[in-house]
Amino acid sequence: MTAEAEPSADTASPAASAEGAVAHADAASDFPSIELSGIVQEYPTPDGKTLRVLDGVDLTLDRPGITMLLGPSGCGKSTLLRMMGGVRPTGVQTPTKGTVRIGGKPCDGPHEDAVMVFQRYANRPDLSIHENVALPFRFSMWKKRVPRSEVKTRVRDILAAVGLGDKHDLRPAQLSGGQNQRVALARALVLRPRILLMDEPFGALDAQTREEMQLLLGKLLVENPCVVVFVTHDVSEALVLGDRVLVLSASPAKIVDDIALDEPRPRSTAWLMSSAIVDVKDRVLERLHESRTHGQVRLSF
Amino acid sequence: MWNPYQQLSGTQRRLLGFGSLGVVLLAWGLLTGLGVVRPARLPAPWAVGSAFLRLAWDPEKGESPLLDHTLMSLTRIVVAGVLVVVIGLPIGILMGASPRINAVLSPLVDPFRSAPVVSLLPILVIWLGIGETMKVAFLFLGAVVFLIPMVRDAIVSVPEAHWISARDLGATPWETIWHAVVPIAKPRIADAITVSVSIMWTYITVAEYVNAQVGLGALIQNARRFSAMDQVLVGIAVIIALALVTHAAMRALKKRLYPWEVEV
């Protein structure tokens, strides 16, 4: 059995990764935990009412590996991810109820251990690729921590790792969408984060580029293990990448399933087409169906 | 013909542009040459050309009155332009960066975009007299009320993704504005400065109407008093030419400084 089904959605199950996978259980103590407890999020609507987006989410992530937040579009998974990254919308109390703790400390703003990668890669068009990746080192927080002499080496190494070693002097407009997303990924990884939060980073890419990026991410995390939370509405992507898949219901979102996958990455087509995984896929779709999903879920096998 | 996305070659554009100018010049020459319009109302193109030459070089005095007028107007515009940028740019950036500051300053700035700034001239005369300070202040006011909202809009139009990304990467709010927002807004800020300079050229004649001895506005005003319509047209033509040259130079400079400008 390569996929473990957890019966209770409220009990966070540790991702049991096999050899070669990213997770290193013995090194878990080196990584800060993410603890979400009783998270409720409500937003005011234009007609004066409140819209509940998240409804009592409890979650603990305490070891390296990829945790996929899978749910229909608009269900609140990005809200949950941004909460972990400390990105708060202005004028709205976030979260409405509950607590977010990183490494045991309350998280109420951008956290030095957590770096986010978004679907919109936000590369500065006036800077070269090298300068874009080195951009965080212009900020006082990173200036203090990383000596200037080290910046160049770090940027060179990470650009080589994401396959852009020969593109240092180009500008973002001279790269494809996939390459621009690699730049954004490199800019996050160059900080050597212990938590990497990815908000549908490959959502805007074509199928082939998305697959390349999934492979690249798997490879990079073997070299630089960290706690990854990856938001997607693509069931296939969740199964290709995740050590653990958390299924969220439609808004107001709750965790309705928690699935551990112990197959090492990269995962073969045979594994993805195996009856156990097809069953997992059916189960995920059933969970989403049960929660009366109105948003979009992608299935691209 | 009716395709807004059709790309014209440089030659086509030049031919069509100079062609339309040629048609106007030809009609002007015919109307004045055939005596349809009296020279006192509209002098012939060649009479304007002749006036240009007389103003360009006065052999008796051994000087160029037109150059003196032009340099004086240019100086006033440069001084006012520097003030517009030094004062207007930070205010526009602050308004764009902070909705609170924008809420405070917007009612003081935005209405002046549609207000007749010329009507402020008498007030400026009372407050500042009729010297250089008044002229520069008038040019400054006329342009800064356009520059500030345009700079603010340039800042606000930078996609929020840049702000969120930089903040998440550990930048303070000011570092985010400085390193992630302002650099992307720079091409639009450059456009705002170009427009402001063009506006100052349109106001120069008004600024120099009051007590100016030297300056293109003064040249036009004095020529009008003596019904020297040919010199009035020379003054107008020089202002248009200078406005076009500065506009083209600033566009070229922008292209050189921000070659990366793409949709962001």
Residue spans of the domains in chain A: they are: 1-107+211-301, 114-192
Please name which of A170, A131, A168, A171 lies closest in space to residue A151, comparing C-alpha atoms. A131
The ipTM, to two decimals, is: 0.81
Shortest Cα–Cα distance, A115 to chain B (Å): 6
Residue of B nearest to A142 (CA): B170
Strand partners, A21: none
pLDDT of residue A296: 58
Does B154 reside within a domain? yes
Q: Is A85 on the interface with B (CB under 8 A)?
A: yes
User: Low-confidence residues of chain B, pLDDT below 70?
Assistant: 262-264
Question: Could you report the per-residue pLDDT of B97-151, keeping only the tens digit for each?
Answer: 999 999 999 999 998 888 888 888 999 999 999 999 999 999 999 999 999 999 9
Residue of B nearest to A172 (CA): B260
Closest CB to A87 among B164, B261, B262? B164
Which tokens is B146 given?
Answer: 């356009």
pLDDT of residue A113: 84
Task: Give contacts of B168 with chain A, Cβ < 8 Å.
Answer: 85-87, 110, 115-116
In whole angstroms, how far apart are CA A250 and each of A51, A220, A237?
13, 32, 19
- Give the CATH superfamily of A1-107+211-301: P-loop containing nucleotide triphosphate hydrolases (3.40.50.300)
Contact B175 A142 (CB under 8 A): no
Number of domains in chain B: 1
Q: Cα(A12)–Cα(B24) distance, rounded to whole angstroms? A: 80
pLDDT of residue B116: 83
In whole angstroms, how far apart are CA B143 and each of A68, A203, A208, B138?
54, 45, 52, 9
Shortest Cα–Cα distance, A122 to chain B (Å): 5
Question: Could you report the per-residue pLDDT of A27-52, keeping only the tens digit for each?
Answer: 455 788 999 999 999 988 889 888 89
Which tokens is B6 given?
Answer: 């059709």
pLDDT of residue A4: 44
* CATH number of the domain bearing residue B218: 1.10.3720.10
Does B30 reside within a domain? no
pLDDT of residue B117: 85
Closest CB to B161 among A122, A173, A188? A122
Domain limits at B158?
Answer: 58-257
Contact B179 A115 (CB under 8 A): no
pLDDT of residue A5: 42
Closest CB to A126 among B164, B172, B258? B258
Q: Is A110 on the interface with B (CB under 8 A)?
A: yes
pLDDT of residue A288: 82
In whole angstroms, how far apart are CA A163 and each of A128, A157, A183, A219?
16, 10, 10, 12
Question: Could you report the per-residue pLDDT of A5-21, keeping only the tens digit for each?
Answer: 443 433 333 333 333 33
Contact A136 B180 (CB under 8 A): no
Please name which of A260, A264, A262 lies closest in space to residue A283, comparing C-alpha atoms. A260
Interface test with B, best of A126, A127, A199 (most B CBs within 10 A): A126
Q: Cα(A145)–Cα(A138) distance, rounded to whole angstroms? A: 11
